Amino acid sequence: MQNLFECKVKYEKIDEQSGKEKKVSETYLIDAVSFTEAESRIYKEMESMIRGEFIVTNIRKANYTEIFENEEGDIWYKSKISFASVDEKSGKEKKVSNQILVLASDVKDAFEKIHQGMGGMTVDFDINAISESPILDFFPYFKGEEVNEEIPAHLKPIANVEQEGETSEPEFENE
């Protein structure tokens, strides 16, 4: 399960229409293990995107159960879906709601992408709401099979350690 964090970044940006500098606050979504790592990762991402000074003004945990990315999309939409679930203890049916983030070109496209992404579900679901999200970009921990961060030089992949004849369990001498 992903740990997602919404990070707000404030900086001065040149307005394309007027050419004047203006302060903007933008929201980005980061996949990280902790608040500390989220802060570190957002600083690293923003340093490559923003010239000049910026400040991370807020980091909060996000509660998205699914994220559907789409190469043709340019706006992140937040969607609330619900489906019926049976409580195993009481045997009663209850309504479960989840939030989904989908990258799409418009609301209709978001609706279609949600249905495509949820196509594998065996239960019926309802889309209760779709609204434009303030999120401008998502920085996942893994892109495909690759980790987005470099592995520190002092760490070795387990496969390399086993190939060198070392064992992954420490050996202790008898005293």
Pairing status of strand 21-31 against strand 4-14: antiparallel
174 vs 137, more confident: 137
d(CA 34, CA 37): 5
Tokens of 55: 């400040």
pLDDT-based confidence at residue 148 (cuts at 50, 70, 90): low
Q: What does the pLDDT average to over 24-53?
A: 93
pLDDT-based confidence at residue 124 (cuts at 50, 70, 90): confident
User: Which residue type occupies 62?
Assistant: A
Q: 100 with 66: CB under 8 angstroms? A: yes
d(CA 121, CA 28): 28
Which range (19-23, 105-109, 118-122, 125-129) has the least confidence? 118-122
102 vs 148, more confident: 102
Q: What is the largest CA-CA distance in the chain?
A: 77
- pTM, rounded to two decimals: 0.75
User: Which residue type occupies 67?
Assistant: I
Write the DSSP symbol of residue 33. S
Q: Given this model, what pLDDT does residue 164 score?
A: 57
d(CA 169, CA 166): 9
Domains of the chain: 1-62 (3.10.20.10), 63-133 (no CATH)
Provide the mean pLDDT of the chain. Answer: 84
